[in-house]
Structure 1
Amino acid sequence: MFAEHAARVSRLRSQLARIAPHDRVRLAKRTSNLFRSRAATKTPGLDVSDFTHVLRVDPLTRTAEVEGMVTYEHLVDATLPYGLMPLVVPQLKTITLGGAVTGLGIESSSFRNGMPHESVLEMELLTGDGRVVVARPDNEHRELFHGFPNSYGTLGYALRLRIQLEPVKPYVRLRHLRYRDARAYFAGLAAVCETRTHDGELVDFVDGTVFGPDELYLTVGTFTDTAPATSDYTWLQIYYQSIRRRSTDYLSVRDYLWRWDTDWFWCSRAFGVQHRLPRLLLGRRLLRSSVYWKIVAFERRFQIAARLLRLRGLPPEETIVQDIEVPLARAAEFLDFFEREIRISPVWVCPIRPRPGGARWPLYELDSGTLYVNFGFWSAVPLAPGEDDSVHNRMIEAEVTKLGGRKSLYSDSFYPEDEFWRLYNGTAFRKLKGDYDPEGRLLDLYEKCVRRR
């Protein structure tokens, strides 16, 4: 497997060598989990479609060697037979390991395991200047190793990664705990994350769903060897709806990891597939995030939703697709702002704490001693006459900054350039850019994430 990987690396370097020295370069990817629109470009693309192999799973060291374009669905299928899983498995099956490391990711194990890049032991990277380097936290490329997360392919591309794994049990027991007050809710979340227990039981997973100011659910999950029965949310039943109906539930570990993928959290309702008849007709194979991505791509191209709004005489809408983190102490404050100014429901909640050990990730630095709360919201809101089509997104950015938080860059961003570089450590980025892409063959972070080039 490693010899074949080396051959793929050699072919990729040959591709790069054939591109004119002063041309900008980007990946030629058929799929993406970014919600950022992008200006049309004739920039040459590197074909990395062959880098989709799990090279090795080692149950003794609890590690895996994985190529950068491996999806988490493929990776989980390779590790579960050994009773192992990645320390953090992002919510959607088509997210790639390389994408989650360079673009960040979280899930319900993040309160104890941080983000996916924090369990990476080694990265083989193709840099902007054409080198292939192996970066580790303690070698000559350690600054690149720590600066790669949140760089979104502007410093280089991950070809191979070695990551830590952790043991699993066959099932996950879920408890959905309802709260009627935001402050009590976040106090309960803090207690669970601090003690890793609830009602005397160990907690392995924590996330939450907010349906309204007086309907907030904290979901705690615990690995278990047995289950009296398991639920199935891969076809006719819808996971997020079960949170309001069931106080206790059991899922197989695989179904737990992908519980959000079948309905793209709750976003499948926009496509009309949360009714029983379309679900019967579509079946399990088509009820998944990869299919919804194709619908979104079609909509972006033809702007069907905007045309329908105009035909019906309704106001235009602003798309709001964001994930943000604020310190736990400011979480209730952010939710109050969000419910007052934005009014999207439901909202996903996920606690995250950087792993101990003192590692710094300069392009997305979080305080290692602080528990953060991620809020995920994905919908659209109507615009008042004369309102700019980014007004609500800009309000969110300003509020997150005011509360000492951070915003993920996988979707559209609107920061002025000076503020962007202050928030995302322009000094560290420019140094890495000078070391690994001095000719600027790859876009810089502001060009890619705000100017959308």
Structure 2
Amino acid sequence: MNRSTEALAHAERRSHLMAAMREDGVGPAPPIALAKRTSNLFRDRQAGPRRLIDLGDFNHVIGIDTACSMVEVEGMATYEALVAATLRHGMMPAVVPQLKTITVGGAVAGVGIEATSMRQGLVHHSVLELDVLLPDGRIVHCTPDNAHRDLFFGFPNSYGSLGYALRLVLRTLPVQPYVRVEHIAYEHPEEFFAALAEACEGDADFVDGVVFGPRSMVLNIARFENTAPWLSNYEFERIYYRSLLEMPVDYLSVHDYLWRWDTDWFWCSRNFGAQNPLVRRLFGREHLNSRTYTRLMRLNARWGVTRRLAACHGLHTESVIQDVDVPIRSAPAFLDFLQREIGILPIWICPLHVPDPGACFALYPLDAGTLHVNFGFWDVVERREAHEAGHFNRLVEQEVLRLGGIKSLYSDSFFTREEFDSAYGMGTYTMLKRRYDPEGRAPHLYDKCVLKH
């Protein structure tokens, strides 16, 4: 990779973009939106006029600095491409979200987490600098200590309402060729979460876990290795999450470990029959991935197949697709609530710690002195009795707020404006909006994430 050549090509793409923005004009209406071929958002938007901005060409890795442990990348590059580029240099991004199609800019404008987060924080905690395309067509360079430091710390969790990331510089970590994973089973939540916290204090490179049932929890502790006595592969016939209950110790290549969840979209491939051996072969290796399942999910949402089948059986359904972060002290109580009121299983568990106490990201505030636990649960709740729209999602939101936690905004939200303002730093957001989008050319964060405008 020639960094100079890639940097020149990036500068040329920026010039073309700015010329196109000036030629088209960006008025206060219709609101701007990002033209994307794929999306990892799980909330629909109301139909309406949009001025689509196509940043699809900004999908390159510009340069990798092994001496300084950082990578320069464009915002629309997928993590699949970024990981492939960095692994060739014996490095990986400090935090690699679970799905290959997630873009780097999307993971920063939203919230990205993975099994290194117990030490590295969320994706945005690994950002060193970024260039943001503002809603009026200007491009500003943001670092933690320059004139646009307010946008640097305000951009994460803004979901395009303050602009789009064109270029980012991220921290990287050195890797070894293999990963050894130890799977430790627990029956009691208190013991499970105590062991999780202890593992975060140790020398592990990765920590996560899965709750399979009220008395079935597995803690996964992984470390890099230079050698491996064998290698497991979960890209086709074998299913990764099932191995957690079957194999006390496992070995994967670092590539396969980073993408261990993508083949079956954690475990959600079961909703499409893709865990049946025959159906799995019909899918084929090339279609067993999050990209395929996302397309199928959107087709199902459009045609309402699952909803209609449930109605034929007298069931009312609600999609509950959520990731929430709660303090470790509240984790057993939240797990009890989930199993009692929601009933979705399995549940992904991922510890999270803010690495820099001085880094205050205003729109996703987390106490730097507290270990948090991410709960990921994604399925449809079915009940015989009817409830108002969003009933179960609303229960989740209320419990998260009660326990002092925070919820990701990539899926359906039902917060009141007052709840939202308090939880997501809307005082700071208002000042950012006045400075960087004074004409309101991009939707307000609440309007976009809750009202779906």
Q: Would the TM-score normalized by the shorter structure come out above 0.5?
A: yes
Alpha carbons 1:129, 1:438 under 8 Å: kept: no
Paired position in structure 2 for 1:12: 17
Paired position in structure 2 for 1:132: 139
Superposed counterparts of 1:390-401, under 5 Å = 390-401=390-401
Q: For the residues of structure 2 that align with 1:19 and 1:276, how far apart are their CA atoms?
A: 53
1:267 partner amino acid: C
Paired position in structure 2 for 1:273: 274
Answer yes or no: is 1:46 the counterpart of 2:53. Answer: yes
Paired position in structure 2 for 1:385: 385
1:129 partner amino acid: D
2:13 partner amino acid: R
Q: Deviations over 1:142-176 (max 9, x none)?
A: 00000000001100100000111110000000010
Paired position in structure 2 for 1:353: 353
Tell me by how many angstroms 1:85 deviates.
0.2
Tell me by how many angstroms 1:357 deviates.
4.2
SS at match of 1:434: helix
Tell me by how many angstroms 1:81 deviates.
0.9
Gaps of 5+ in 2: 1-5
2:387 partner amino acid: E
Superposed counterparts of 1:255-334, under 5 Å = 255-310=256-311, 312-334=312-334
1:111 partner amino acid: M
Tell me by how many angstroms 1:35 deviates.
0.4
Tell me by how many angstroms 1:130 deviates.
2.0
Paired position in structure 1 for 2:28: 22
Q: Choose 384-393 or 440-449, whichever is displaced more.
A: 384-393
Alpha carbons 1:88, 1:109 under 8 Å: kept: yes
Q: For the residues of structure 1 that align with 2:381 and 2:281, how far apart are their CA atoms?
A: 30
1:348 partner amino acid: W
Q: For the residues of structure 2 that align with 1:173 and 1:374, how far apart are their CA atoms?
A: 23
Q: Choose 14-23 or 208-217, whichever is displaced more.
A: 14-23
Tell me by how many angstroms 1:306 deviates.
1.3
Tell me by how many angstroms 1:128 deviates.
1.8
1:78 to 82, 85, 91: 85
Q: Choose 74-83 or 357-366, whichever is displaced more.
A: 357-366
Q: For the residues of structure 2 that align with 1:158 and 1:216, how far apart are their CA atoms?
A: 38
Paired position in structure 1 for 2:227: 226
Superposed counterparts of 1:359-378, under 5 Å = 359-378=359-378
Q: Deviations over 1:268-318 (max 9, x none)?
A: 0000010111222222210000011111111121111112223x3331210
Alpha carbons 1:323, 1:407 under 8 Å: kept: yes
Q: For the residues of structure 1 that align with 2:248 and 2:343, how far apart are their CA atoms?
A: 26
Tell me by how many angstroms 1:389 deviates.
2.7
Q: For the residues of structure 2 that align with 1:122 and 1:192, how far apart are their CA atoms?
A: 31
Q: Choose 55-64 or 73-82, whichever is displaced more.
A: 55-64
Answer yes or no: is 1:68 the counterpart of 2:75. Answer: yes
Paired position in structure 1 for 2:101: 94
Q: For the residues of structure 2 that align with 1:315 and 1:379, how far apart are their CA atoms?
A: 15
Tell me by how many angstroms 1:20 deviates.
4.6
Tell me by how many angstroms 1:416 deviates.
0.6
Q: For the residues of structure 1 that align with 2:109 and 2:425, how far apart are their CA atoms?
A: 15
2:308 partner amino acid: R
Q: For the residues of structure 2 that align with 1:135 and 1:129, how far apart are their CA atoms?
A: 17
Q: For the residues of structure 1 that align with 2:28 and 2:359, how far apart are their CA atoms?
A: 35
Q: For the residues of structure 1 that align with 2:277 and 2:69, how far apart are their CA atoms?
A: 42
SS at match of 2:284: helix
Q: For the residues of structure 1 that align with 2:394 and 2:417, how far apart are their CA atoms?
A: 14
Paired position in structure 2 for 1:199: none
2:65 partner amino acid: D
Tell me by how many angstroms 1:419 deviates.
1.1
Q: For the residues of structure 1 that align with 2:386 and 2:160, how far apart are their CA atoms?
A: 36
SS at match of 1:339: helix
Consecutive aligned runs of 4 or more in structure 1 exceeding 6 Å deviation: none
Q: Choose 17-26 or 357-366, whichever is displaced more.
A: 17-26
Tell me by how many angstroms 1:328 deviates.
0.2
Paired position in structure 2 for 1:341: 341
Tell me by how many angstroms 1:256 deviates.
0.2
Q: Choose 320-329 or 388-397, whichever is displaced more.
A: 388-397
Paired position in structure 1 for 2:427: 427
Superposed counterparts of 1:172-251, under 5 Å = 172-194=179-201, 196=202, 202-251=203-252
Tell me by how many angstroms 1:356 deviates.
2.4
Q: For the residues of structure 2 that align with 1:344 and 1:357, how far apart are their CA atoms?
A: 34
Change (3 A) 1:270 1:285: same
Alpha carbons 1:15, 1:46 under 8 Å: kept: no
Q: Matched residue pairs, number?
A: 446
Change (3 A) 1:75 1:379: same
Q: For the residues of structure 2 that align with 1:284 and 1:238, how far apart are their CA atoms?
A: 12
Q: Deviations over 1:248-276 (max 9, x none)?
A: 00000000000000000000000001011
Tell me by how many angstroms 1:59 deviates.
1.3
Q: For the residues of structure 2 that align with 1:234 and 1:324, how far apart are their CA atoms?
A: 28
Answer yes or no: is 1:159 the counterpart of 2:166. Answer: yes
Gaps of 5+ in 1: 197-201
2:129 partner amino acid: E
1:121 to 105, 128, 144: 128
Tell me by how many angstroms 1:13 deviates.
2.1
